[in-house]
């Protein structure tokens, strides 16, 4: 039985910031993972477009489509009873025009069932954020390293170390808040800058590789629990090594099957021998007659 918690909303996040309570967030991409995280007490589950890498094996998040996001968001929503589920807006589903963004965000919420969407970008995206919010769609912003711009930035790296970059991130964060964003993700932003942004905003900041002074923290499920083995991000702490554990268990299973140690009597159905004999005799008689 899962403990009953009151479902969290975007307003809950602001309340947590005001109270000084840390917001704990993780990504998830399927029903089972969402169920586990929700039962553990995670506040926010992001159905991230990182599924393109850690689930589908692409090199970047760019190949992820809106239909993929809807499919995975539906599964996560089924598994999360209390955590706030946020869906990522994929590449080029919101950058073209605010109206196209509204159409696509509406689909992600209506068909996917999430309670908010996340999109990347700062001041240039403020009109889009305002359009979505005006239509009743809560929006999380995303600043710093933005994975959908991977081909521009190259490898993941910190953003905000220079004076001009720091000024841009501060201005972008304030613009997103003014446009109505309910929270802002800060990815690979220097800790001191992230702390300053967090202090200036009335809405929560959720960090990833941006220090402990953000209002919350988000990490990728497959990174934290050791399922994704292509590389280990510097900003991740591995709490489990599931790939190693699953690999070891798989090898045990392989050995047991090959050595006829599995399935055993406990995993096998039995039947009355006379019943089988009569069934075989009947089939034999039918075969002779035919």
Instruction: Show which residues are catalytic.
Output: 187
Whole-number Å distance between alpha carbons of 12 and 31? 23
Whole-number Å distance between alpha carbons of 217 and 80? 19
Tell me if residue 73 falls in helix, strand or coil.
Answer: helix
Whole-number Å distance between alpha carbons of 87 and 109? 8
Residues 6+ apart with CB under 8 A from 22: 16, 215, 216, 217
Nearest to 49 by CA among 95, 3, 14, 90: 90
Which two structure tokens, joined as six digits, stand for 249? 């268990």
| Tokens 């001191």, located at residue | 192
Element (H, E) at 139: strand 139-144
Q: How many CB atoms lie within 10 A of CB 165?
A: 16
Residues 6+ apart with CB under 8 A from 226: 238, 239, 240, 241, 242, 243, 244
Tell me if residue 180 falls in helix, strand or coil.
Answer: coil
């Amino acid at each position: 039985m899962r403990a009953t918690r009151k479902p969290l909303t975007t307003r809950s996040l602001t309340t947590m910031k005001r109270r000084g309570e840390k917001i704990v967030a993780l990504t998830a991409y399927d029903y089972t993972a969402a169920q586990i995280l929700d039962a553990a007490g995670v506040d926010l589950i992001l159905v991230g477009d990182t599924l393109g890498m850690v689930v589908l094996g692409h090199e970047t998040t760019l190949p992820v489509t809106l239909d993929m996001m809807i499919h995975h968001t539906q599964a996560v929503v089924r598994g999360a009873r209390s955590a706030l589920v946020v869906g990522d807006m994929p590449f080029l589903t919101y950058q073209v025009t605010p109206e196209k963004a509204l159409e696509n965000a509406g689909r992600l919420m209506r068909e996917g069932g999430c309670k908010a969407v996340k999109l990347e970008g700062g001041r240039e995206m403020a009109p889009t954020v305002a359009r979505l919010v005006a239509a009743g769609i809560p929006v999380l912003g995303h600043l710093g390293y933005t994975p959908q711009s991977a081909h521009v930035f190259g490898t993941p790296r910190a953003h905000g170390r220079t004076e001009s970059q720091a000024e841009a991130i501060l201005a972008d964060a304030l613009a997103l808040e003014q446009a109505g964003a309910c929270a802002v993700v800060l990815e690979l932003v220097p800790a001191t800058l992230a702390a300053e942004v967090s202090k200036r905003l009335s809405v929560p900041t959720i960090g990833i590789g941006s220090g402990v002074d953000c209002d919350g923290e988000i990490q990728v499920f497959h990174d934290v629990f050791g399922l994704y083995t292509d590389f280990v991000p510097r900003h991740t702490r591995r709490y489990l090594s599931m790939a190693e554990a699953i690999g070891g268990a798989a090898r045990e299973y392989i050995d047991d099957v090959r050595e006829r140690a599995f399935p055993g009597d406990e995993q096998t159905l039995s039947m009355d021998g006379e019943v089988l004999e009569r069934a075989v005799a009947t089939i034999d008689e039918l075969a002779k007659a035919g």
